[in-house]
Amino acid sequence: MNISEALEIVSQTNPGMVRSHNEDSVSFDAAHGLVVLADGMGGYNAGEVASGIAVSVLTSEVKHRLDVVGPEQKDAESSDDVGVAVLRENVKKANLSIFNAAQSQPQYAGMGTTIVTGLFYDDRVAVAHVGDSRMYRLRGEVFEAITRDHSLLQEQIDSGIISKELARLSKNKNLVTRAVGIEADVVPEVHLYDVEIGDIYLLCSDGLNDMVEDEDIGATLQMLQGNLPLAATQLIEQANDNGGRDNVSVILVKVKGSYALPRGLWAKLKSWFKN
């Protein structure tokens, strides 16, 4: 199945109930199986600028590379799949463009952004993230985060200082330990996962998961999986009904069919003749 037929993708972003402007940016490219979500930070409109740069660098550069070489090929430099390498390289590229803009223009000083991005190819998904924007997966009955925040709170949970339950009471939310555009280089965390038909992936900014419990997010997806645009609307509505303290963005990706790449001699022969 062609990837744009195999995946159903919807995205929605909303400034929330308190903030006057939206510093989140979302974008997707169904033909290349790419989804990107960024949550910018910085004074005046610098947050929008940072998240906007991140999303546009990712979408244009990834497309550019994948038009030349398949994501399943091996990357010569890193020996990872091109699909993995292309996310890692372009998060770094976005980092440098934001960092340079912030250095050269005083009104952008100190701006940065979190990012979470997924590239779906060959029945898999490569996931790269920096900061506290998340990707979750609903598989059957199980709803879980597949990214781990780069935040002080997550580090405290990891080191056992604080339990996951008590973390909700912390006054140290919103302190990210990694962000795009703050320093000259950044190390994105990149993983590759197999997908299953029926999986639903959720990318969101912290405006969702700070306002709505994971359990309620999962239940909403489970109940409304038959209508993805409605599920996205309901998630944003719940965040806003609970106070909507921050911008809220969601991207939902539903795997409707297999998008495995053709394999074997016959496929190779076919693609040979196509070229």
Chain residues that interact with another protein, rule: CB under 8 A: 18-19, 39, 41, 112, 114, 131-132, 138, 141-148, 150, 152, 154-156, 158, 161-162, 166, 168-179, 182-183, 187, 189, 191, 206, 210-216, 218-220, 222-224, 226-227, 230, 234, 237-238, 241-243, 245-246
* Alpha-carbon torsion (61, 66, 67, 68), positive or negative: positive
Name the residue among 59, 67, 199, 40 with its Cα closest to residue 131: 40
- Dist. CA 77–CA 38, nearest whole Å: 27
Identity of the residue, 62 or 220, whose beta carbon is nearer to another protein in the bound complex: 220
Contact partners, residue 148, CB within 8 Å, separation at least 6: 154, 189
Residue closer to another protein (CB basis): 28 or 143: 143
| CB nearer another protein, residue 3 or residue 222 | 222
AA identity, residue 161? I
How near is the Cβ of 181 to another protein at its closest, in Å?
9
d(CA 241, CA 228): 20
Query: Is the Cβ of residue 67 or residue 165 nearer to another protein in the bound state?
Result: 165
Nearer to another protein, 20 or 275 (CB): 20
Cβ 71 to another protein shortest distance, Å: 21
**∠ Cα 82 200 37 (to 5°):** 60
Burial class of residue 207, CB neighbours in 10 A (0-12, 13-18, 19+): buried
* Nearest approach, Cβ of residue 31 and another protein (Å): 26
64 vs 216, beta carbon nearer another protein: 216
Q: From the CB of 124, what's the least distance to another protein, in Å?
A: 15
Chain centroid to Cα 187, Å, comes to 15
CB of 170 to another protein, least distance (A): 5
Least Å from the CB of residue 262 to another protein = 30
For 67-103, give one letter per residue: b (16+ CB within 10 A) or e: eeeebeeebeeeebbbbbbbbbbbbbebbbbbbebbe
